[in-house]
Amino acid sequence: MNTFSKVVIASLTMTGVAFAQPKAPEAKGAPAVDAKAKVDAKAKAPADAKVAAPTPPAPPAEVAAMAKAAAGTWRCTGTASVDDKGTMGKMTATVKTKVDLDKWWVTDNFDSTMGKVKFKFVAYTTFDATSKKWRRVMVDNMGGQMVGTSDGMVDKKMTFNMDSMGPRGSSQFRDYADMTDAKAAKFWGEVSMDKGKNWVKVYEMSCKK
């Protein structure tokens, strides 16, 4: 007899035993249960209290203000590192900026040509009301990522300190923005491969809407 047959027989046997058990006699002296009283008690029982849904936090006003100033399509020209030796060459780029994810993040879609290299990234930036800092997350088309913070705009200038990870290892990155010129925003960045001891500029560009 196989195992399956044994299981089926055992199940049927236990079911038969359960149905064959005599009905337990009612305890002597026990008060009779009034069916109508049961129904009335159920009708009078209070309904379960409804649990109020949690109120989601409102998007930061700082994000809306940044989006208002930065949203749109930017066209950029400048120079960037175009090889492993750090050689600087011409760069052109388009940056599309908008508010996203229920107004919680400012999204930058960056598409550039650096020499013969096509470089793209998507960056998400938001304001953290608890730490009073801006937070940024960036991923690119070369397997790299950056995560970091900024203290915000001071005299129309802003700096992000980022930790970078990618196929070639980890590094530190500083991203600078200068908005003092109303006609053209300026950006540049520098990288450190030795935990901040030495810094090398890897790009600079000027952008206009």
The ranges assigned to domains in the chain are 61-83+90-208
8 A C-beta contact, residue 111 and residue 117: no
Tokens for 5, please give them: 């047959």
Which CATH architecture group holds 61-83+90-208?
Answer: Beta Barrel (2.40)
The pLDDT tens digits of the residues spanning 118-173 come to 999 999 999 999 999 999 999 999 999 999 999 999 999 999 999 999 998 999 99
Q: How far is Cα 111 from Cα 141, in angstroms, rounded to an integer?
A: 10
pTM: 0.73
Q: How many helices (H) and strands (E) does the chain have?
A: 3, 10
Residue in the block written with tokens 């590094």: 171
Which residues in the chain belong to E strands, given as ranges?
72-81, 88-100, 105-114, 117-128, 133-140, 145-150, 157-166, 169-178, 185-192, 200-208
- Whether the pLDDT of residue 87 is over 80: the answer is yes
Q: Which of 187, 188, 176 is nearest to 74 (CA)?
A: 187
Tokens for 78, please give them: 């400048």
For residue 29, what pLDDT is reported?
Answer: 54
Q: How far is Cα 106 from Cα 62, in angstroms, rounded to an integer?
A: 10
Average pLDDT over the chain, rounded to an integer: 84
